[in-house]
Amino acid sequence: MTASVYDKYEAVIGLEIHAQLLTHSKAYSSDSAEFGAAPNEHVSAISLGHPGTLPKHNKTVIDYAVKMGLACEAQIREFNYYARKNYFYADLPKGYQITQDKTPICNGGFVKIKLKDGSTKKIGLTRIHMEEDAGKSMHDQDLYDTLVDYNRAGVPLIEIVSEPDMRSADEAYAYVTEMRKLVRYLDICDGNMEEGSLRCDANVSVRLKGAEKFGTKVEVKNMNSISNVKRAIEYEIIRQIDLLEAGETFTSETRSFDALKGTTFSMRSKEEANDYRYFPEPDLPPFIADQAYVSSIREQMPALPDALFDKYTKELGLSEYDAQVLTDLKEIAAYFEELIGFTSNYKAAANWVMGSVKSYLNENALEMADFHVPAKNLAELIALIDSNKLSNSVAGQRVFPVMIEQPERSPLNIAEELNVLQESDAGFIEGLVQQVLEANPAKVAEYQGGKKGLLGMFMGEVMKLSKGKADPKEATRILSEYLDK
């Protein structure tokens, strides 16, 4: 089949993202919600759904869901109630999941994704609702039995449902990347897809370009990284087009992604789907998210990547590339924000953060949280360079490593101790220039005879004599003055 056959079609993709919220305790009990404990450590009568227990509401869950809604410019619903979704499974202790059905906390909204051609596209959201996670069935821990870890049972989630607005695997990739960035900025989810704290299901269909009607929708599950989301969707689009081109029809079904083979396989048809018998949760009262409450949450919102990107490109005059790198990670943006509070040399600040700071972290496999140099000190280092007291290279190679070792020490103090502060006093440099020229009369003659390349040699001598402390710019200027007169 030629590539042109695939070009006749377009894909229609909608994503459902489940984000585990970073609350200390579970959604409906005071059990710890932290990841990584030994199996069945974070459980209690409530989270195990023992007879007589009732859900005990963790209000932070609502705060986080509202934050996400506000970040996506969604409408926040004022009158909310919870619903029960009933089904039987070993990892669901109560036999139902507490979720929201007809009244999701957020409706509408959008996120902007950046496409490869540099343009942006808005991906609409259908809804965001709150629910509790189930436990985890482990089929590979025991030879005969499936074991269940209930630590995750009751951990709060938000489910973010997009409109079917994406048209390619790349757009889906960009969307998940953007969502992960957002939840991390908001500090409501760690965004870790490998550990399952961010999970994504894709609804994929294809249709002939220009067609109005949607094709048959297939849901793809179990993609545990953003690149797998892209791979799975790419595979699924081709698979569906191939089927259609071969004249075959297919029904709506749920498929699972096999990361090793890079393919999807059928899990169940939609006809086999459960009747979840949703109904309002009678154990939790409805809650009101009134304007005063929503405003109070709005006030706690951090600056978001889009706003920072605009600020950096429009107000600080940074390039789009710089702005992108600086806003990719919340922690880096936060440090940069602090840094520009102490210096107005934004370009230098950006270069330092994107250069020396990032390479130090990368080389040592560290996170921004492991970088302890106060922004104030880094700004001081920039100021020393700007006032010609330090050269860029000496600052980067000699002073900065000591700052990392001793974060509280001021760079001026370090430079003094290292004896690397530059001398830009004209009298001092003139003295050195004179000494060098007097010591090398033959070379001076050669230079003046036209061998201009010798300037570097003279500079080297001057710098050597100054023990590296002469301001190179000033030294070049004076040297040229003497030689060329």
Partner 1 sequence: MKRYTAYSDFRRDLETGKVTCVQAVEHYLNQIESQQDLNAFLEVWADEARAKAAEQDALIQSGKAGRLAGMVIALKDNICYAGHNVSASSKILQGFESLYSATVTERLLAEGAIFIGRTNCDEFAMGASNENSAFGLVRNAIDKERVPGGSSGGSAVAVQGDMCLAALGSDTGGSIRQPAAFTGTVGYKPTYGTISRYGLLAYASSFDQIGPITRSVEDAALLTEVMAGMDEFDATMFQEPAPELKLETGKKYKIAYLKEAIERDGIHPELSAGMKNLIAELERQGHTLTPVEFPYLDYLVPCYYVLTTAEASSNLSRYQGLMYGYRSPDAVDLESTFKKSRSQGFGPEVQRRIMLGTFVLSEGYYDAYYTKGQKVRQFITDKTQDILANHDFILLPTTPDIAFKIGEKASNPVAMYLADIFTVQANITGMPAVSVPGAGTIEGMPWGVQVMADRKKDSELLSFAHELLEQNQNA
The three-state secondary structure class of 113 is strand
Dist. CA 302–CA 271, nearest whole Å: 44
In the complex, the smallest distance separating the C-beta of residue 266 from partner 1, rounded to whole angstroms, is 20
| CA-based nearest residue to 129, from 82, 176, 175 | 82
Q: Which CB atom, from 87 or from 214, has the smaller least distance to partner 1?
A: 87
- Footprint of partner 1 (CB under 8 A): 45, 48-57, 84, 86, 88-90, 93-96, 146, 275, 277-279, 282-285
In the complex, the smallest distance separating the C-beta of residue 136 from partner 1, rounded to whole angstroms, is 15
Q: Which CB atom, from 48 or from 412, has the smaller least distance to partner 1?
A: 48
In the complex, the smallest distance separating the C-beta of residue 279 from partner 1, rounded to whole angstroms, is 6
Q: Which CB atom, from 40 or from 424, has the smaller least distance to partner 1?
A: 40
In the complex, the smallest distance separating the C-beta of residue 50 from partner 1, rounded to whole angstroms, is 6
- With b for 16 or more beta-carbon neighbours within 10 A and e for fewer, the 259-274 pattern comes to eeeeebeeeeeeeeee
Which residues, in sequence order, are bridge partners of residue 176? none
The pairing of strands 136-138 and 147-149 is antiparallel
In the complex, the smallest distance separating the C-beta of residue 278 from partner 1, rounded to whole angstroms, is 8
Give the pair of three-digit tokens for residue 102: 């007809």
Which phi and psi (to 5°) does residue 310 adopt? -60, -45
Dist. CA 297–CA 181, nearest whole Å: 19
Burial of 282 (0-12, 13-18, 19+ CB in 10 A): exposed
Q: Which CB atom, from 88 or from 265, has the smaller least distance to partner 1?
A: 88
31 contacts 48 by C-beta, under 8 angstroms: no
Q: Which CB atom, from 55 or from 164, has the smaller least distance to partner 1?
A: 55
In the complex, the smallest distance separating the C-beta of residue 40 from partner 1, rounded to whole angstroms, is 10
Q: Which CB atom, from 277 or from 451, has the smaller least distance to partner 1?
A: 277
Residue type, 428: F
Q: Which CB atom, from 79 or from 321, has the smaller least distance to partner 1?
A: 79
300 contacts 60 by C-beta, under 8 angstroms: no
In the complex, the smallest distance separating the C-beta of residue 205 from partner 1, rounded to whole angstroms, is 23
Which residues, in sequence order, are bridge partners of residue 18? 159, 199
